[in-house]
Amino acid sequence: MRRKPTKAEQAMDDPSTRGKTVKRVAVVATGVIGASWAAHFLAHGLNVVATDPAPDAEERLHADVDAIWPTLERLGLAGFASRGRGRLRFERDLETAVEGADFVQENGPEREDFKIDLFKRLDAALPPEVILSSSSSGLSTTRIQSECVHPERVVVAHPFNPPHLIPLVEVVGGRHTSEDTVLAAIAFYAGIGKHPIRVRHEIKGHIANRLQAALWREAFHLVELGVASVEDVDTAIAEGPGLRWSVMGPFLNLHL
């Protein structure tokens, strides 16, 4: 008997909800993750307005997108090249950059105090229907949204680096995030070629990093016991179960 799809899966499969209202994305902070996100959004036909307070941020962003773009073209994503750079704009002022945005992807420093203040500013600058999403790899959504007037529209959407190549995005709602926001975020990311998963309870490290950490602990243990060298542990995964895990994951592999 076929399993009934979850609400998240239904949102991903429903073309009527798949990011249809998102035409302009504001990318806040344009370091390694932010620039990669910007290139990915552009490659999928979205308008991008980026902002970053660093003095050389605009030049770095354009250089990073230039470096990323040939790879995306080889993957068959040529929308940006055909429509020109008019869809990428840089604004140094945060409030100016996010004005008119349909979705915000924040990629600032992993400091709780910084993100709380930043999301307070973003919340004040944008209408309540605009989703505010953080790329945080470990901070709590509940804490990030704690000083927002509209905390229901805040999520963490943690990408694996680099976002323009690795499909996974971990979507995490906070204590005050609405169900509609979580499902809309999942639908948006699915609609631009990502593979979003839902982290149903906030936990440090989300899902994928915790799974990596569990394997690392055993790898260190085996080397410490003298069972294997560092090189042999790496070979054991890269030339063994890692080949299956890359296409099936641990549960399907175990089931088979």
pLDDT score for 80:
54
pLDDT score for 81:
53
pLDDT surpasses 70 at 19: no
Alpha-carbon torsion 245, 3, 206, 193, what sign?
Answer: positive
Task: From 44, 109, 112, 116, select the one nearest 80 (Cα to Cα).
Answer: 44
Distance between CA 48 and CA 41 in Å, rounded? 7
In tens, the pLDDT along 107-126 reads 999 999 999 999 999 999 99
Distance between CA 186 and CA 207 in Å, rounded? 16
pLDDT classification of 12: cutoffs 50, 70, 90: very low
Alpha-carbon distances, residue 168 vs 71, 111, 115, 165, 238 (angstroms) = 18, 23, 23, 9, 20
Average pLDDT over residues 201-221: 96
Which distant-in-sequence residues (6+ apart) come within 8 Å of 213 by Cβ? Answer: 205
- 17 or 127, which is more confident: 127
Element housing 197 (H / E):
strand 195-199
In tens, the pLDDT along 142-201 reads 999 999 999 999 999 999 999 999 999 999 999 999 999 999 999 999 999 999 999 999
- 102 or 77, which is more confident: 102
pTM of the prediction?
Answer: 0.88
pLDDT classification of 21: cutoffs 50, 70, 90: confident
Determine whether 39 is exposed, middle or buried from the number of CB atoms within 10 Å of its CB (0-12, 13-18, 19+): buried
pLDDT surpasses 60 at 253: yes
